[in-house]
A and B are shown apart, each in its own frame.
Chain A
Amino acid sequence: MFKSILSKGRRLAGIGSIAAALVAAAPAVAQDKDPIVFGGSIPLSGVFAFAGVHLHAGLTDYTTWINSQGGINGHPVKYVMEDTGYEVDRSVAAFKKITGSNTVPVYYGDSTGFMKTIASELNSRGTTLMSGASFATALTDNEQYPNQFVPGPNYTQMFGIILEYIATQGKDGEKPTVAFVYSDTEFGKDPIENGKAKAAEMGIEVVEEIVTKPGSVDVSAEVLKMRRARPDFVVFHGYVLSPINEFMVQMRQMGLDTQFMGTFWSSDKLIINKMGEDADGYMGVMPYNYYDSAEGGPMLDALRATAEKSDPDAGYRPTGYMQGWFNAMVWTEVIKRTMDAGKELTAENMAESLASIKDWDTGGIIGIPVTAHDMSFPVGRIWRVNAKEGRYEPVSDWIHLD
């Protein structure tokens, strides 16, 4: 019984940690050149551990895969990480420890808070390019955060993609109405003002705006407001699961035919696994193909093969896994471009290499060639839950914002 209630995530974390330790400890037997270190402050415990274990597995498996391909220009890759518990002070301590004992050209930050906190040190060092779990809009400000990027669209761009989709769903020439529901956190508030401006620009009326505490909360009063506003679409941001389920169930109980959408961290299969039939019709914006989507491509196939090999019992890999893998893919591309240009691996040179990425074929991780824009990759697709099949299915083409 005990075994049956152990979560899959914990098993992945355990296997991932062992694999990471082996990778870190292994001498560069395959290649003679100095190893390139991928550093990481990783939330294997704490409030973000549900995603952290999968991010970690993605980074670990990518490292295994790239080394099996001969590393980066003949340099083996070493992944060195510390668990942070999703606490900024521990993330900072991990960063100092890892960068103090290794030369670390690229680093995974576990939160917006950490990435903002470490920015001034990162800028003064000029040695490391950073990305991570955050898609915060602020981090794509090149002036303030020249050495950080987000591995997909930032939250404002995700809202942009969602609104582009909503704008196409009007009937009789009328634009649908929308309501924004977000958590009372920096994460939750991130895209709201820009989202409202974008909606106004597109002629979409925002009929309600609701802010809630994050996590386990009663939202029956907020649902009553929705009953009066009757939006055609509700866009959630700043949540992982609750209270999305309560809004959907209660609004449907009231007979509303509203459609529900969410951003990256609200669009994992967790929604389907936990909500079951109630999740049917929920839509999310996702920059990567889902692990179990019908899509393919050389890199996506390699990802699936590596994941299968590293833990054959794991089955489906969540979006955090895809995100971890894609982060490492971008790092590899950036390091390779910088080396090929004969430049040193400094943060400035690598940021330049990042900015030079144009029409990059990600081998199926993202369904169309992508171009870096202001330290982000503003691309995504709308996917809808098919509860019967237990997966997300695409309902839009890939949308690449300018």
Chain B
Amino acid sequence: MDWLFFGEISLAGLAMGGLYALIGLGFVIIYKATRVINFAIGEIMMFAAYLFLAFAGGMEMSPWVALPLAVLGGSLLGGVIEKIMIRPMLGESSISVVMVTIGIASILVGVVEMIWGADPQLLPSFLPRKPVFIGEMYLAPKIAYGFLIGAALLIVYLLYFRFSRGGVALRATASDQAAAYSMGINVRRVFNLAWVFGSLAASLAGVLVAATGGLSPQFGAIGLSVLVVVIVGGLDSIVGALIAGVFIGWLETVAGAYLGGEYRMPATFAVLAVILVFRPYGLFGTHEIERV
């Protein structure tokens, strides 16, 4: 066995998995606080990536100015969606809310096609192009630097949720909405904050993934692939999303390299099927017990 090849493949997979973890985090933050499964997460990623294209390409801003602007734009979009379209659905069945998010996804695709057209796009190059070697192992520079940027945001998030007032409010609301409300936490504001933070993580991942693989109005489909990550990790577990994201990224890449590209998805869905049979609430998800 070529261990160098295995090492290089694993590195590439782990780095890509880091980006999956970031998207998964966006999914989980929203679900954990609001119990809404956001099927529009991929399209929010896509929208942020198109914003980056407009800022860095069309308006010729520095990519390092365009990146935070695009990410902020994506997170703002998440906040607006929550306020205008999700909040009125409070108290409705979860299926209705899910359908609304699917509708939002379609609207975003339409908006993007109207503004930017249907042509596939490449983002202006902004990550270093010099090959990265870890020992003798090669790692594509876009993946390596994308992973580092994503990891930096993950660390900021983890610190924020652990130590800040907003983070504590978010965790408290996720644990028990009624108790949080009775303790004076503005639960509605927390809901909005969750959409803003979730969309922010997804937006950054969107720009980084689009910088690697290109962009088109169908880009949002990647959000559904990441659904596997959050189901495996547990829909309401941040740690689960991080671990499952990295694992699924690695598995997908190794399966693609050794079995062929057509086995990437079957490999991850096989894991999903096994997890659903033995731990339907995911590896780290909350096992809710209902007593009759």
Which residues on A are within 8 Å of B, measured CB to CB? 1-2, 4-10, 45-47, 49-50, 52-53, 184, 210-213, 215-225, 227-228, 240-243, 245-246, 249-250, 253-254, 270, 274-275
Contact = CB atoms under 8 A, between A and B. Distances in A.
B261 A49 contact: no
A220 B58 contact: no
B121 interface: yes
Contact of B120 (A184, A218, A242, A254): A242
B54 A220 contact: no
Given A52-B118, A215-B214, 13 more contacts: A1-B58, A2-B115, A184-B261, A212-B256, A215-B216, A218-B140, A227-B138, A243-B213, A243-B214, A245-B214, A253-B140, A274-B120, A274-B121
Interface stretch (B6-14, B160-168, B240-248): B6-14
B262 A5 contact: no
Contacts of B13: 221
A284 to B, nearest CB: 16
Contacts of A10: 114, 117-118
A6 B117 contact: yes
A329 B209 CA distance: 42
Secondary structure call for the B interface: helix
A66 to B, nearest CB: 28
27 contacts: A5-B58, A5-B115, A7-B117, A45-B113, A47-B118, A47-B216, A52-B118, A210-B261, A211-B261, A213-B265, A215-B214, A215-B221, A216-B214, A216-B215, A218-B140, A220-B12, A220-B140, A221-B8, A221-B13, A221-B254, A224-B12, A228-B5, A241-B122, A242-B214, A243-B214, A270-B119, A274-B121
A144 to B, nearest CB: 26
Q: When A and B form their complex, which 8 residue pairs have the shortest distance between CB atoms, in order from nearest?
A: A7-B117, A242-B214, A49-B118, A216-B213, A220-B140, A211-B261, A241-B120, A220-B12
A67 B228 CA distance: 55
Contact of B139 (A210, A220, A274): A220
B63 to A, nearest CB: 15
A216 B218 CA distance: 9
Contacts, number: 132
B141 interface: yes
B213 A242 contact: yes
B122 A222 contact: no
Interface in B79-129: 113-122, 129
A225 B120 CA distance: 26
Contact of A220 (B143, B214, B265): B143
B260 interface: yes
Nearest to B217: A47
A212 B261 contact: yes
Contact of A215 (B12, B54, B143, B213): B213
Interface in B204-241: 209-210, 212-219, 221-222
Contacts of B203: none
A220 B249 CA distance: 12
Contact of A218 (B8, B12, B114, B118): B12
Nearest to A8: B117
Contacts of A241: 120, 122, 214
B253 interface: yes
B138 A254 contact: yes
Contacts of B156: none
A222 B257 contact: yes
Determine which residue in B2, B138, B210, B254 has the highest number of CB atoms from chain A within 10 A of its CB, and name it: B138
A211 B216 contact: no
Contacts of A275: 122
A241 B5 CA distance: 27
B131 interface: yes
Contacts of B262: 184, 211
A11 B13 CA distance: 41
A328 B175 CA distance: 65
A29 to B, nearest CB: 35
Nearest to A48: B118
Interface string B124-155: 00000111000000111111000000000000
A215 B215 CA distance: 8
Nearest to B110: A45
B59 interface: yes
B264 interface: yes
Contacts of A212: 256, 261
B210 to A, nearest CB: 7
A223 B212 CA distance: 13
A82 to B, nearest CB: 17
Contacts of A45: 113, 118
Interface in B1-53: 2, 5, 8-9, 12-13, 16
A83 to B, nearest CB: 12
Contacts of B130: 253
A215 B213 CA distance: 7
A6 B115 contact: yes
B212 A246 contact: yes
Contacts of A8: 117
A7 B116 contact: yes
Contacts of B120: 50, 215, 240-242, 270, 274
Interface string B182-220: 000000000000000000000000000110111111110
Contacts of B59: 1
Contacts of A250: 140
A187 to B, nearest CB: 14
A393 to B, nearest CB: 22
A221 B216 contact: no
Contacts of B5: 224, 228
Contact of B260 (A47, A211, A270): A211
Contact of A221 (B12, B121, B210, B222): B12
Determine which residue in A7, A212, A216, A250 has the highest number of CB atoms from chain B within 10 A of its CB, and name it: A216
A242 B212 CA distance: 9
Given A9-B117, A220-B139, A213 B219 contact: no
Determine which residue in B114, B119, B140 has the highest number of CB atoms from chain A within 10 A of its CB, and name it: B119
